[in-house]
Chains A and B, each alone.
Chain A
Amino acid sequence: MGKDLIQKSLKDSLFTGIIALALFGPIVGLRTVAKNEVLVVEPKWFVVLLIVAFCAVGRFFINIYTYKKEKRRGESSSLGKAISNFLDEKGAQIAIAAIAFSIIFPFMPFADRYWMDIAIMMMTYIMLGWGLNIVIGLAGLLDLGYVAFYAVGAYSYALFAIHFGWSFWICLPIAGLFAGMFGILLGFPVLRLRGDYLAIVTLAFGEMIRILLLNWYELTKGPDGLTGIPRPSFFGLPFKRYPDEGVETFHTFFGLEYDPMQRIIFLYYLILILALITNAFTIKIRRLPVGRAWEALREDEIACKSLGVNPRNTKLTAFAVGAMFGGFAGSFFATRQAFISPESFTFIESAIIVAIVVLGGMGSQTGVVLSTIFLIGLIEVFRDFESYRMVAFGGAMVLIMVFRPRGILAKRKPTITMGKHG
């Protein structure tokens, strides 16, 4: 049996090597360099050899230790199971501890500007992950264009704030509403689509919105972007060192020294609150009939129809609600940056958010947090090695898919139990 396994794995790793050679041979192996003003091909076979050997050997070990082991494929590894069981049992305590940590985080001694920026970025992705989790994790609709709603939220916030001078708390719901409407707009044409087809159309939708923003110059200033988006204020108290005549600021009102960190900390709490609202809303709505219908739709649309569940309305609400939270996050992004341009809303953003949801474990709220910390943390760590960032990102995804094929946290809790009502 063991010999058989090794033989099979060797054969498989040989194939992997051949595929790697076919791929990396031309991509890495043949390099054009300019010599005496002519381009010549300079082969780099040694590097190719290293890569191919790495792929083949790696595949061999993955085969032996996970895939071909005597157990059902897709079953989770014991370490993953232990972690998931632990998180399951202590879920409530961990959540409280995590929230408590998030609240005191800005006052930690190490929380300087750099850490605060990372924390704000992560929190934004967590919020986006939670929003998209409604569409992908619960309703099972693979939406690759989520960034479109983030963009719609950001632009509608910016336009209303710039042209009407309305405050953050008025523009925020408007932006959410606009994004939600775009969610329905996307929802209608894709009602009948599933799986790959749905993914392609949503991807195209995301690009359409970006291109629209790029070309509708009168409204969006195209590639120049929108500048001068009002910064948020603390209930009307701006964060400014030199305010206009007669305007009270945050630091004078509270009798503090001016410190630019005050604004950063305020932004941090703002996104923390927005994210927690998203989370609380999702947890609650999952237990309502509409939330259960979303999950049922993910499980079996035909069975849903046979029980009289309206698939059209159910899908549209999922798109709309998910998009709305994307819009909220977009408003936050706009007010934080004070400048937005279509460049911030490329497909790679959608891909990262989808990766966060899928790697976290479809539908798991905690999984979104874990995979955000992991993925965004990784991207940050590799910030100085710009060109290897995406390699590390891809590598991390492969690793998670190898060891936890159904995501970091794959276990689902029922939305209602017999015990609860007796």
Chain B
Amino acid sequence: MSNTLLDVQNLTMKFGGLIAIDDLTFSAKKDHITSIIGPNGAGKTTVFNCLTGFYKATAGSMYLNKENNKMDLKKFSDFKVAQKAGVARTFQNIRLFPQMSVLENMMVAQHNKLMVASGFSILGLINSKSYLQKEKEAMEISKYWLDIIGLTNRADDNAGDLPYGDQRKLEIVRAMCIEPHLLCLDEPAAGLNAKESADLNKLLKFIKNDKKTGILLIEHDMSVVMGISDHVVVLNYGKKIFEGTAKETKNSPEVIEAYLGTED
């Protein structure tokens, strides 16, 4: 099991009387795209919020294997999950910095290393060579990703002015700028047309194969899920009702009944 990237055991999240996640156990592998699917209100986003420290889980454990270093995600609060553990995420409702340029969005994502490079602003204020060099490198990383999603020519436009599909893609590559070990995507294909959806599949496969970044994916669009998932976890009312490969999931009677519906 050295290949396991994320190991979630008996995760439970209660909001007052409501049990949003009920004793959930699953794991995600390094070279996998692991999808979490389920009907509305099943608790998918809540799983992300627990993983990324936005909510404090009521019970259970979450471990991340980072280069054979087992990290307890419960120990980190919100921004430290991204900073220390290298877990990046996107949001169901896109959260860009709309009044800042596309490039600035990418630079903010590299904040922590640039902050150190700028000597916590001291070296930056005196225009030190070493900082300018680091800034340039950060620009190149930004350009690299923008080239991949084809947004380089809009780098200086406000992120909020981009078309919806581009905003989704930008949010994903912005998350990649923190060089995460695990990338959590909350419904990235929502609102995309067929071509954009296909582009997204390509981007996610590239991230998985070439960047060696594990992906946790929440998705409603079954064509995306079936096309790229290596592993699927199905939630219903906070409980895991099925786990398996995409094909197994598609044919599972429980999943069909609870979520997919019969095809006729």
Contacts and interface: CB of A to CB of B under 8 A. Distances in A.
Interface of A: 281, 284-285, 288-290, 292-293, 295-296, 299-300, 302-311, 412, 414-419, 421
B82 A305 contact: yes
Contacts of A303: 91, 95-97
A303 B54 CA distance: 11
A368 to B, nearest CB: 18
A307 B175 contact: yes
Nearest to A311: B79
Nearest to B131: A288
B152 interface: yes
A285 B121 contact: yes
Contact of B88 (A285, A292, A293, A307): A307
Contacts of B135: 416, 421
A279 to B, nearest CB: 14
Given A292-B111, A300-B97, A414-B104, A308 B136 contact: no
A137 B12 CA distance: 41
B101 A417 contact: yes
Q: Interface on chain A toward B: helix, strand, loop, or mixed SS?
A: helix
Given A308-B112, A309-B108, A289 B118 contact: yes
Contacts of A419: 156
B79 A305 contact: yes
Nearest to B142: A418
Q: Interface on chain B toward A: helix, strand, loop, or mixed SS?
A: helix
B83 A310 contact: yes
A292 B99 contact: no
17 contacts: A284-B125, A289-B107, A290-B115, A290-B121, A292-B100, A295-B97, A296-B97, A296-B104, A296-B108, A303-B95, A307-B79, A307-B108, A307-B177, A309-B111, A310-B79, A310-B83, A416-B101
B104 A421 contact: no
B217 interface: no
A304 B103 contact: no
A417 B95 contact: no
A14 B177 CA distance: 56
A310 B81 CA distance: 11
Nearest to A414: B101
Contacts of A292: 100, 104, 107-108, 111
Contacts of B155: 417-418
Pick the most buried of A285, A308, A418: most chain B CB atoms within 10 A of its CB: A308
Contacts of A418: 103, 139, 143, 152, 155-156
Interface of B: 52, 54, 78-84, 88-91, 95-101, 103-104, 107-109, 111-112, 114-115, 117-118, 120-121, 124-125, 135-136, 139, 143, 152, 155-156, 174-175, 177-178
B121 A288 contact: yes
Nearest to B146: A418
A303 to B, nearest CB: 4
A293 B111 CA distance: 7
B243 to A, nearest CB: 27
B111 A414 contact: no
A416 B104 contact: yes
B175 A306 contact: yes
B95 A302 contact: yes
A284 B118 CA distance: 12
B81 to A, nearest CB: 8
A213 B175 CA distance: 48
B108 A306 contact: no
Contact of B96 (A284, A285, A300, A412): A300
Instruction: Give 9 closest A-B pairs by Cβ, nearest first.
Output: A308-B83, A308-B82, A299-B97, A303-B95, A414-B101, A289-B114, A288-B124, A418-B155, A305-B79
Contacts of A295: 97, 99-100, 104
Contacts of B83: 308, 310
A419 B152 CA distance: 11
Given A288-B125, A306-B79, A308-B84, 13 more contacts: A288-B121, A290-B121, A292-B107, A293-B115, A296-B97, A296-B111, A304-B108, A306-B82, A307-B177, A308-B80, A308-B82, A308-B112, A417-B101
